[in-house]
Structure 1
Amino acid sequence: MAHDNGSIVSLRGPIRPTRGPWEFKGDEREHVAPTHPALTPTLTPLHNPTENPSFIHHVPEFIPIPAEKIKTTRRPDHAMVDYQVRELTFHAAPQPALNLQVATAPQPQPEPPRSQAQRLPRLLPAVHDPLPERAVEPQDSKKRGLAPAEGLVVSPFTANEDRLIVSAYPRYARPENGQVNGYVKFNWPSRAPSRRPSGPVPVPSEDDVEDITPNVTRSHTASRPPTIMTLVNPGPAVSSAANGTVSPMDLEGGWGNTSSPMLMAGSPVSFQDTSQIFIAGDPKMLPPQFGFQAKMDHIDRRLFEFYIKNWCPGRSVLSNTNLWLKDLAPMHKNEGILHAIQSLAGVYIYDYIPDERIRQRINQRYITADQYFSTLLNAPESRENGKGQEVITMAVLLSMQDIVLTERRLKKPYNPRWLEGFRQGEYFLQATDPGARYWKNNNVQYNELRISQSIIVGRAVILAQPMMALPSPQTFNPEAEAGRFSWLLYGTEKDMFEIHGGCGFSKKLLHLMSQVTYCAGRLQQEPESTIVPITAKFLLRELSEMRQWSRESKDWELARKYPPTIDWVRDKADEVIIDSNQIMTEVTAEAWRIAAIIYYQCRLLRLPRNHPEVLANLDDLARCIRIMPTSGSHFTAQAPLLPVFFLGLLATEPVHKDVSMDWFEQVVQTPVRSSVPPLYDALLRIWGWIDKEVQIPRDPTALSKNIGKRYPWWEHLVAKVLEAEEETLCLT
């Protein structure tokens, strides 16, 4: 009998099932992924991620199981390591016992890449290349893998160690209100015993975090000791609200089924036990796999649901262009993409539930996803014109996992996996570019998936350039660089300036930022160039006159007629906080535009950071950042991380530094992993030496008219950052 005194209990044989969010049975039938409306390209999304997205929570009765407590055996009849729990010894706690009879469903292995008759380009060497003394953006096509080389293409994500290491404790503590409403959105209940509500559940407001998990009750059984409890689901507590809002009790897709008890085929429960279980709801009239698209067992389905319902809503406030949900999720019928999605979602879940079974599943899914990715890297069809969607999507998903799994990033002298993965995505976008068949960019035929892939890949590669050294003048190839990222320019003028949820601003602005880096490299190669100053004036005019628009805000015609958004921001008081997705979208895009102008002024024009024009733009940027929320339903990964970093990096006035610091401090308080904490730590270290290493001139306006003769202080700053930091800064 389990007691609260920490006694040791040894359980052998069948264990009565208790169904919490991550509890499952040994021979439970396979489930398949739900036909989510957002997973079918021709249908509308399941929900608007900006309006009370569905949230799952973790059942308070769950007891994490340390890795050393689980005894496992390997099934000899399967190629993969398939663990089955035979015996468990654990410290008793006043919680219901766990059902730990696991049977991982066999997963098909991808065929190893076969050698091709034609030698394929090498994107990465067989081993990780050490970084040179300075991390330099490979500018010429040969270094980016666009020139033929011998050997097979190698995945940068292949490793001989577990991707996710053992954790004995949760990574984050539960917030007081139980709401995690930042880059991931879900409800985290306390460990207090859950009870059925005695009255109607209040309708959640727009800013509330909605919990979709049905309440569970405990009931003792007659044929088993009273220490073994069975979790069952009650019937629906309340009905839908009059206004159409569904209360948490009525939502489907939680960890359990609200219309049936947590008892399924294969459970080690006798017929006598079933008489003690309360069964509610109508009998099922449809086959158990009706409406599903991909086969998944219990854990896999929960991982996928977490991605759809809790991770994707934290990516963008723009539902129409949330590429993670609208474009990438429907590709889950590809097993490699599905495993990459599940592995990415599992990294977040393990932070809150450090259970060994979850960790093993995440590592298994990561290995198989990387194997599929390696196969696609060397598949001839991945390089055919207009194709390559699968390999690009997998590069994006695996790179994103490396971005958020900050503790497993490669340090110097190795190149970061996330950057190499996105560079491979850039290579395949170029290799499969359909634009070569058209005379005009606005005639190129493309789909939404291609646009989303171009933006998310271009965003990662282009935004890494500001804090990387320019290529040496000897290796810089102006002809090749002039056409780099050209696949961002397809479409009409209206298409160019649409704000996309994948980056928070328009793809035209993204391309202009790459052109600033290109011109800076060209100026370094030829300081007396007469073309670069002319191009610089053109870039400034484009950045100054740019108007960005969104389908969920002002349309293109109105955006062109209205004054710039910064005029509206300047009129707002400092204590005002944005409370609508429309305004958040417009101000975020404006912050990116201002940050691009600052980057243009400092790196290309070589204006010192205390120059009056730079200070004026820093002041406008600070006004935009100050009124932005740092958590809640309007805060997502669309937030302007790089502009906030620029604001703190280039600050010469205390007010600018304070705004940047306040934003970082508030964002890192949310208990969710992201790329923000390591970037903030790097910024704190930079503040310790920047005023000594990058001195502020007394007369910032005393500059040569020839920009090629001005002091390139930005390059000196980047060189110092690369020398002082252990890894390449991730600004996405």
Structure 2
Amino acid sequence: MAVADECVKHALLTLAGAYVLDYLPSTQLLERTNQHYRKAVALITDALANQETHEVSKSDGVVSAILLLVVDDELACKTVIWELRKPKGGVPNWYRGARLAKSILDHSDPGYRYWKATNMQSSTARLANANWTALSCILAQPVTPLKREEDDNSFSWLLEGTERGVRKIHGSTGLCPKLLHTFAQITHLSTRIMECPDSVAFPMGAAKLEKRLKNFHQWSEFSDGYRYSEDLSASCDLDANGKVNCPAKVTELTGETWVAAIQIYLHCRLFRRPRSHPLVQERLGLLLRCVERMPYDGPLFTSQAPFFPIFLAVIVSIREEDYNVVNRWFEQIVSGAGCRSSVPPVWPVVKSLWKWLDVSIVNETYDEEVPIGQRRAWWEEMVEYLIEKEGWLSLT
């Protein structure tokens, strides 16, 4: 079991100590926590040098430890909010750590033993590691420049298991592995079209992805989910504040926000449709309706909260009522957030981005008959602005 590994124990104690220090500063606790941090790093370093760690199904412990430190990087320097630290153009350590975890998962993948990925059975630890690693890596891509990784296996291990299995919403992320993998595919195709704007094949692949995402179905441990968003909406029993109040509905609504978010991403980055496009605005409306029905605090507000979908809503909001929904979400989350929440450092970025979008991405002309590669790549202009002005964003 991964939790039995010494490096996992020290990484976990590091993370726990960091959270306690936010609320109860103590020189003694700081030193003890830093000791656990240094010990965890030393054990991870030793494990990486050990060939056995890289063997099939032997990497659970070291990957778990790396991911725990990704959550709370640079503790030894007492950095609290490191997601946006300078230099803004540099690759942050949390992303380097996630990529390291990915590389270990790549070459310790037991999938090669099977003729079909559907026959693959993974441990609970590997499934958790795979989903969280992929989430950290894949969700960094939409707000960073397009770049093709020649040795990238495109997170193929996310799709190991049955078709039903890869459509199950994972508890730590709020979406299923198949949907997460599709985010990576959209980014990959966007990169290829940027490289080969006159290609005929890549737009065909984009059309297939668009078809696949129509009425995309996920399920969870609470329910089999709904194939149509209308059925999900009709099933929600709302309290006096217009909120659902059971885990099943929160999970279902969260999953639906991810489906709407990936469709927005597909339309805007891959197909290069403008923010005002009817398909984009229709998906935005669905996303925000789901968000409004979910609690913003309390026991049902968990790590599954759709932070990334909300950020995509930020990008394509053009109406006052949509701005207001996003604004209320951020204001309430920020007002009640702990020191180590990812949301507070992004809120100023959102307000700055809104101003930039309202000036730089306006009066967009669009013609569906124009090949994708010849349309305005406005998403890439936005990414360039974010990297130059704000640096890397942690949206998980």
**Normalising by structure 1, what TM-score?**
0.51
Shift of 1:385: 2.1
Q: Deviations over 1:676-695 (max 9, x none)?
A: 10111211111222211222
* Separation in structure 2 between the aligned mates of residue 334 and residue 485 of structure 1, nearest angstrom: 25
In structure 2, stretches of 5+ residues that fail to align are none
Shift of 1:403: 9.4
* Separation in structure 1 between the aligned mates of residue 379 and residue 49 of structure 2, nearest angstrom: 39
Contact 2:3 2:61 in 1 (8 A): no
Answer yes or no: is 1:373 the counterpart of 2:37: no
* Separation in structure 1 between the aligned mates of residue 251 and residue 305 of structure 2, nearest angstrom: 9
What does 1:272-671 align with in structure 2 at a 5 Å threshold? Answer: 331-402=2-73, 406-409=80-83, 410-412=85-87, 413-471=89-147, 477=150, 480-481=151-152, 483-554=153-224, 559=225, 562-569=226-233, 575-671=241-337
Contact 1:383 1:432 in 2 (8 A): yes
Contact 1:337 1:393 in 2 (8 A): yes
Shift of 1:376: 1.4
Q: How many residues align?
A: 388
Letter in 2 for 1:632: G
What does 1:64-79 align with in structure 2 at a 5 Å threshold? Answer: none
Contact 2:102 2:134 in 1 (8 A): yes
Letter in 2 for 1:652: I
Shift of 1:446: 1.8
Contact 2:13 2:33 in 1 (8 A): yes
3-state SS of 1:679 partner: helix
Letter in 1 for 2:134: G
Q: Deviations over 1:49-94 (max 9, x none)?
A: xxxxxxxxxxxxxxxxxxxxxxxxxxxxxxxxxxxxxxxxxxxxxx
What does 1:702-721 align with in structure 2 at a 5 Å threshold? Answer: 702-721=367-386
In structure 1, stretches of 5+ residues that fail to align are 1-329
Shift of 1:402: 2.5
Give the structure 2 partner of residue 228 of structure 1: none
Contact 2:2 2:125 in 1 (8 A): no
Answer yes or no: is 1:679 the counterpart of 2:355: no
Q: Deviations over 1:337-365 (max 9, x none)?
A: 11110110111111211122111111111
Distance change >3 Å, CA 476–CA 360, structure 1 → 2: closer
Contact 2:280 2:316 in 1 (8 A): no
Contact 1:610 1:696 in 2 (8 A): no
Give the structure 1 partner of residue 393 of structure 2: 729
What does 1:44-55 align with in structure 2 at a 5 Å threshold? Answer: none
Distance change >3 Å, CA 671–CA 531, structure 1 → 2: closer
Letter in 1 for 2:121: Q
CA root-mean-square deviation? 2.0
Shift of 1:488: 0.3
Distance change >3 Å, CA 566–CA 575, structure 1 → 2: farther
Shift of 1:335: 2.0
3-state SS of 1:544 partner: coil
Letter in 2 for 1:519: L
Distance change >3 Å, CA 660–CA 504, structure 1 → 2: same
Shift of 1:671: 4.5
* Separation in structure 2 between the aligned mates of residue 713 and residue 615 of structure 1, nearest angstrom: 16
* Separation in structure 1 between the aligned mates of residue 119 and residue 149 of structure 2, nearest angstrom: 31
Shift of 1:618: 0.7
3-state SS of 1:688 partner: helix
Larger-gyration structure (1/2): 1
* Separation in structure 2 between the aligned mates of residue 382 and residue 369 of structure 1, nearest angstrom: 15
Name whichever structure is richer in strand by fraction.
1
3-state SS of 2:296 partner: coil
Distance change >3 Å, CA 403–CA 455, structure 1 → 2: farther
Distance change >3 Å, CA 476–CA 454, structure 1 → 2: closer
1:690 to 357, 374, 388: 357
* Separation in structure 2 between the aligned mates of residue 672 and residue 364 of structure 1, nearest angstrom: 24
Shift of 1:444: 1.9
* Separation in structure 1 between the aligned mates of residue 98 and residue 128 of structure 2, nearest angstrom: 13
* Separation in structure 1 between the aligned mates of residue 135 and residue 123 of structure 2, nearest angstrom: 18
Structure 1 range deviating more: 684-693 or 708-717 = 684-693
Distance change >3 Å, CA 452–CA 332, structure 1 → 2: closer
3-state SS of 2:139 partner: helix
Q: Deviations over 1:454-479 (max 9, x none)?
A: 101001100110000002xxx664xx
* Separation in structure 1 between the aligned mates of residue 113 and residue 104 of structure 2, nearest angstrom: 17
Distance change >3 Å, CA 671–CA 731, structure 1 → 2: closer
Letter in 1 for 2:261: A
* Separation in structure 2 between the aligned mates of residue 416 and residue 341 of structure 1, nearest angstrom: 21
Shift of 1:447: 1.5
Runs of 4 or more above 6 Å deviation: 570-574
* Separation in structure 2 between the aligned mates of residue 366 and residue 704 of structure 1, nearest angstrom: 56
Contact 1:499 1:550 in 2 (8 A): yes
* Separation in structure 2 between the aligned mates of residue 594 and residue 715 of structure 1, nearest angstrom: 21
* Separation in structure 2 between the aligned mates of residue 458 and residue 428 of structure 1, nearest angstrom: 12
Contact 2:337 2:344 in 1 (8 A): no
Contact 1:501 1:638 in 2 (8 A): yes
Letter in 2 for 1:692: V
Shift of 1:644: 0.7
Letter in 1 for 2:172: G
Shift of 1:388: 1.3
Distance change >3 Å, CA 537–CA 403, structure 1 → 2: farther
Letter in 1 for 2:232: W
Distance change >3 Å, CA 414–CA 610, structure 1 → 2: same
* Separation in structure 1 between the aligned mates of residue 74 and residue 379 of structure 2, nearest angstrom: 25
* Separation in structure 1 between the aligned mates of residue 170 and residue 235 of structure 2, nearest angstrom: 26
Contact 1:570 1:620 in 2 (8 A): no
Letter in 1 for 2:309: P
Shift of 1:406: 4.1
* Separation in structure 2 between the aligned mates of residue 661 and residue 445 of structure 1, nearest angstrom: 43
Distance change >3 Å, CA 494–CA 403, structure 1 → 2: farther
Shift of 1:567: 4.1
Contact 1:497 1:506 in 2 (8 A): yes
Shift of 1:379: 1.5
Report 1 or 2 for greater relative contact order, CA contacts < 8 Å, sequence distance ≥ 6: 2
Contact 2:7 2:62 in 1 (8 A): no
Q: Percent identity?
A: 34
Letter in 2 for 1:382: T
